[in-house]
Amino acid sequence: MILSFLVIWSLSALAELPPLIPRSVLFGNPEYGNPAISPDGTHIAYEKADTNGIMQIWIRDIAGKQDRQITHEQSTQNSGSASFWAYDGELLYLKDSNGNEMEHLFACTPSTGEVRDLTPFPGIKAAFIDREPERPNQVLITLNRQGKAVFDVWSVNLSNGALQPVMQNPGEVVQWIADASLKIRAAVGKGKDGSGELRLLTKENSWKTLYAWKTTDTVDIIGLSKDEKEIYLRSNKDADTTGLYAVETLTGRQKGVFYDPTADVQYALIDPVSRIIQAAWCYRLKPRWEILDKSISPDFAALARLPNSDMQVMCRDLEDRRWVVSCQSDTNAPGFYLWDRRERKVTDLFFSRPGLKRYTLSPTKAFELKARDGLSLPTYLTLPVGIEPTNLPVVLLVHGGPRQRDFWSYNYVVQWLANRGYAVLEVNYRGSSGFGKAFMHAGDREFAGKMQDDLTDGANWAIEQRIADPRRIAIMGASYGGYATLAGLAFTPDVFAAGVDECGFSNLRTFVENVPAYWKPFMTSYWYQLVGNPEHPEDLIDMEKRSPLFYVDKIKAPLLIGQGANDPRVKKQESDQMVAAMRKAGKQVDYIVFPDEGHGFSRPEDTRRFYAATEQFLASHLGGRFEPAEENESVDGFRQ
């Protein structure tokens, strides 16, 4: 009966949808990505695939508009962060191997294309601290050479690659702050109870506590002012939402810079040379900028005329004449522009996915959803274009973290699902970040409890609004979103018709006990708050009660699981044990494992394979349309 209904619905409704957007357009490499302007303002570095489909670094001469490829990676099996310019004119980037998150720092010389591994130590993780125009041949980094969870400060000489130790970590420091001459002047220490303190290195070479906060507070150190009289930070120490503040280095007195009572300040725009905070980026339902330095008001007024709603200043040259900015919206993938402040001129650089311009994308509605206990949940709904928004199949798409959030922006997964005929609901459940301290900590110890209720309330809202067919609602997500998928099927088995879990944890105890070593300093202020401490017997009992692994007998809906074999955060064991338990209980589960992936899928070919399988899976159980899988999208060799 259900199958015949799906066929009838597909024939009548799906035919009215706009043309299918190919997965190769949605999930392939972007045409262009991550542009960065050189310090002298003459060149743009960016990422673009070569003829073999491998992302490489390219250089564009701004004056001549000549482009050339400068790196020649041989494999897609290494994932890395975007490149950025050192002040000596070299390009730097961090790259791991097969998703293991043990990043090395690499330098590339644009004139020759020579690539050097500046931290060639197996099993050691590098992280970037700072660079400064006053020391163009030097950068500061951290390395965990003395222990997996302890990161010391090192200086890298870019001229010869020499590494010099700068400061040894006493064991509890989780962040280092440098001045304009790249000397360490401050640090953040974490207590065993999860509390934190900002320490200042005095002229007598001793540490003094300048600012302290509790486990439940969120504090993010931005950096020192140019004159070293203030340290800028994001904090909610004495407030609900996170605001911008300056702490005087002499007295420790806190001064307000900007505060929004409705949402956290997500980002501060800072002049990289003067170190002046120029603007604050806030975001409840949609983004907005608060200009703090009036000298850039004319720039933002001019850039507001660009076609999309969410504008970001990505980088700028040393003269501060040229800015690279990105713009996107719910129906537009990021575009990149060059803003010349002297000539008051915007030049198009790149559109990340020009292939999308031929297709119709679905707008996203932002609104506040009321949970059953009255809590207001910032929520996004994307409806398929061309069909009546009534009695639709729905995908409840759950973000990871959980202390992350959904945004009103271009989301390729959302657009893919809407194009296939699904309404997509994204609920910022309690525990999400960005909406204040009380909202975030309302998720503590609420895994499979009120956090999950918020998601169920979203599904019920869609039913009440007659948007959703109650028999055709799926839940889908990655990381915590994968856990929420498993919890949704196990604890509310009558709500969901299918589930798609990407690298989700199934047993809270084994997940917490096996996190990466470099997470250890943050466990008390993050995971122990959320789910408990496995060293406490009463917490272990509670963890088991909230772990879907022990409730597979209640699951009714089919499940698809995707996992990276090298995932250092959510170990493959989490998916293995869930699949084994479901198969033992005679439940329907499809398991896909990619051998060269970590936490999430970074290789475009694997992304396409997984979403091709997901598309077929959802179509089978919810009735949406699908694009037949191509030969290179087969997952037959990856099923376990």
Which residue numbers are catalytic? 479, 567, 599
Q: Cα 157 to the chain's mean position, in Å? A: 31
Specify the pairing of strand 277-283 against strand 265-270.
antiparallel
- The helix-helix angle for 450-464 and 480-491 (nearest 10°) equals 70
CB-side neighbour CA atoms (13 Å) of 491? 22
With contact defined as beta carbons under 8 Å apart, do 92 and 84 qualify?
A: yes
Q: Which of 285, 340, 339 is nearest to 309 (CA)?
A: 285
Q: What are phi and psi of 409, to 5 degrees?
A: -165, 180
Query: String of b and e for 58-94 (b: at least 16 CB within 10 Å)?
Result: bbbebeeeeeeebbebeebbbbbeebebbbbbbbbbb
Structure tokens belonging to residue 576:
């293995």
Q: Name the 3-class secondary structure at 210.
A: strand
Query: What b/e readout covers 429-458, taking b as 16+ CB neighbours within 10 angstroms?
Result: bbbbbbbbbebbbbbbbbbbbbbbbbbbbb
Rounded Cα distance between 428 and 403, Å, is 10
**Rounded Cα–Cα distance for residues 557 and 496 (Å):** 7
- C-alpha pair distances (Å), 153 with each of 74, 100, 166: 31, 22, 5
